[in-house]
Amino acid sequence: MNKTVLNTKPIAVIVDRDGVINADPHGYISKPEDWHALPGSLKAIAALNALGIKVAVASNQSGVGRGFFDDKALERITERMQACLAALGGHFDFIAYCPHHPEDDCPCRKPKAGLLLQIGQALQIPLNKQVWFVGDSQKDILAALAASCTPVLVKTGNGARTLAIEVKGEYPVFDDLAAVVRYIEGLE
């Protein structure tokens, strides 16, 4: 695995949900009360907001396509996440989910770039190295590369397992989302 040095602040940070913002139960979060933020993740997002950096979520949610929960349940989980963030003074500029089953081969399911392209269009920003995609899996890294964004890996969620895999490309590795934001805050 290669590391790269990031020396300019991003214009936007896209984050994966499970394993980056919230604990990943290695199953499915199917109801709002099962959603629990990782320590420091919501404060980190609020800090990005304070820096004027746009923040979006890109998340595969195949539990919908598999029939484990429906769109309404996903909406209620998202509302809980947004309310917890709002309580800290933060917000998301856009949230994009892929609800499809992996066998559907849809263009929005990571590692394809579709979710990131939706976000770029919604935020009216070009996808390039100034857009960081923070994730915890190989799919996240590959989606970032496919969309010409800067991939950033965190060790939370599946991150430790991902470090053990040889994933193409150069990307920095941080302990968690809060560490990514501390790094960004240190950039001029």
* pLDDT tens by residue, 128-180: 999 999 999 999 999 999 999 999 999 999 999 999 987 777 899 999 999 99
The answer to whether 32 touches 80, Cβ cutoff 8 Å, is yes
What's the token pair of residue 169?
């490309």
Whole-model pTM: value is: 0.95
pLDDT reported for residue 188: 61
CA distance 117 to 30: 26
Domain annotation covers residue 138: yes
Domain annotation covers residue 42: yes
pLDDT reported for residue 4: 58
Residue 60 backbone dihedrals phi, psi, to 5 degrees:
-75, 130
Q: Is the dihedral of CA 50, 54, 60, 63 positive or negative?
A: positive
Domain annotation covers residue 125: yes
What residue numbers bound the domain in which 115 lies?
A: 12-185
Q: How many domains does the chain have?
A: 1
Looking at residues 102-116, what average pLDDT do you find? 95
Tell me which amino acid residue 114 is: G
pLDDT reported for residue 167: 78
CA distance 161 to 85: 28
pLDDT reported for residue 166: 76
Domain annotation covers residue 7: no
CA distance 102 to 20: 21
**What is the CATH number for 105?**
3.40.50.1000
pLDDT reported for residue 5: 61
68 secondary structure, DSSP code:
S
**pLDDT tens track for 50-102:** 999 999 999 999 889 999 999 999 999 999 999 999 999 999 999 999 999 88
Length of the chain equals: 188
Domain annotation covers residue 49: yes
Looking at residues 91-115, what average pLDDT do you find? 95
Q: 16 catalytic, yes or no?
A: yes
